[in-house]
């Protein structure tokens, strides 16, 4: 990447959330069944819902996801929670109930989090005592 913008960071976080959702469930080691596999006849399958097809993510997508997981470590816990909830596609109403903020404040925390991540990825220094609005202007998020 030449220059990270808040919108590129948002897209990468959304991709990472999707990859996390598509990963297979972890299995416990050492547990297995000695019973034979049950073969269902056509009559057994009539009226049943088909199993959802699970498409596994590519190794490159998993590598990008692992890199992305570390990005929110530099954020405040509230900002990181808002950024990840938004990446997972949560509605603003649910996010506001979870973190206890109004929608405009939650949106500003989300945008601030994206801007801090983009500034760090671009290796730009900024004063942590700056206001959220100044950081957003500095990163070009507004």
For residue 29, tell me if it sits in a domain: no
Q: Is residue 39 part of a domain?
A: no
| Region of residue 47 (left: phi > 0; alpha: psi -120 to 50; beta: else) | left
**Total tally of structural domains belonging to the chain:** 1
pTM of the model: 0.78
CB 72 within 8 A of CB 9: no
* 35 lies in some domain: no
Which phi-psi region, left, alpha or beta, contains residue 28 (left: φ > 0; alpha: ψ -120 to 50)?
beta
pLDDT tens for the chain, 142 residues long, are: 678 999 999 999 999 999 999 988 877 788 778 888 888 888 888 888 887 777 889 999 999 999 999 999 989 999 999 999 999 999 999 999 999 999 999 999 999 999 999 999 998 887 777 888 888 887 776 5
Residue 84: domain span: 6-23+57-139
- Residue 121 tokens read as 């990825």
Q: What burial letters (b/e) apply to 68-83, b meaning 16+ CB within 10 Å?
A: beebbeebeebbbbbb
Q: What is the DSSP letter of 71?
A: G
Residue 28 lies in a domain: no
Structure tokens at 68: 């992305």
Helix axis angle, 103-121 to 6-22, nearest 10°: 100
Could you please report the per-residue DSSP string of 2-68?
----HHHHHHHHHHHHHHHHHSPPP--TT----SPPPPPPHHHHTTPPPPPP-PPPPHHHHHHHHHH
């Amino acid at each position: 990447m030449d220059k990270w913008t808040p919108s590129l960071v948002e897209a990468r976080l959304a991709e990472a959330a999707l990859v996390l959702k598509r990963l297979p469930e972890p299995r416990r080691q050492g547990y297995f069944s000695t019973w034979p596999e049950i073969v269902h006849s056509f009559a057994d399958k009539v009226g049943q819902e088909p199993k959802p097809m699970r498409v596994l993510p590519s190794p490159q997508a998993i590598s990008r996801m692992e890199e992305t997981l570390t990005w929110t470590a530099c954020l405040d816990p509230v900002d990181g929670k808002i950024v990840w909830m938004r990446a997972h596609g949560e509605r603003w109403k649910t996010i506001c109930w979870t973190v206890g903020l109004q929608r405009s404040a939650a949106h500003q925390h989300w945008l601030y989090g994206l801007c801090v991540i983009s500034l760090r990825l671009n290796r730009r220094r900024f004063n942590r005592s700056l206001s959220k609005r100044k950081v957003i202007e500095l990163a070009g998020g507004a």
